[in-house]
A and B are shown apart, each in its own frame.
Chain A
């Protein structure tokens, strides 16, 4: 998993509660990403980061925020979880600065919002 860990690995929560997912990397990569994966949609980019405190939106960013205060950690927050955010969330990194097309993924977090 290219030194990427995600926590928690599984979470069940209730609608309206805040949720934070953590991605941790050990290899000092500049680019980090959050995706969600749903049946029939493949992987869709939520947010990404190109450095400490540098983040940008992806295709499906509504309802999500991110923060990156250290190179190794990229946090994804659902301010008020909804059932439509039930999904599997993957963190990814890319190597080599501007080289973003080869990405390496973490093991995923399975989130269920009741």
Chain B
């Protein structure tokens, strides 16, 4: 079993939609949870990180961690074409990455 599982998509939504991206992880000891965004042919960039459980909000983005079910989510409100990218979740201090979900927001 992979340490982090992520639905690869692709996911296509209309502009303005709410997007939900999800990952599951296997090790209950993980405490650090990150979301990275990667535009085509670029390096990943850190989008959000959370420590332990709960929600964290930053503008249109909300990261959510449910440690009881080992489930992490990223919500994007009012999605924009500029949000079209691959989103990677990552866990633990020594990062283990999901395989990424390719998102396209259609104008």
- Residues of A in contact with B (beta carbons under 8 Å apart): 1, 40-45, 90, 92, 100-108
Contacts and interface: CB of A to CB of B under 8 A. Distances in A.
Tell which of B8, B43, B45, B97 has the most Cβ of chain A within 10 Å: B43
A41 B46 contact: no
Nearest to A41: B99
Contacts of B94: 45, 100
B60 interface: no
Interface of B: 4, 6, 8, 32, 34, 41-46, 49, 88, 90, 92-95, 97-100
Given A101-B49, A103-B95, A108-B42, 7 more contacts: A41-B99, A42-B98, A44-B97, A45-B95, A100-B94, A101-B32, A108-B41
B33 to A, nearest CB: 9
A96 B45 CA distance: 17
Contacts of A106: 43
A85 to B, nearest CB: 19
Given A42-B88, A42-B99, A102 B34 contact: yes
A101 to B, nearest CB: 4
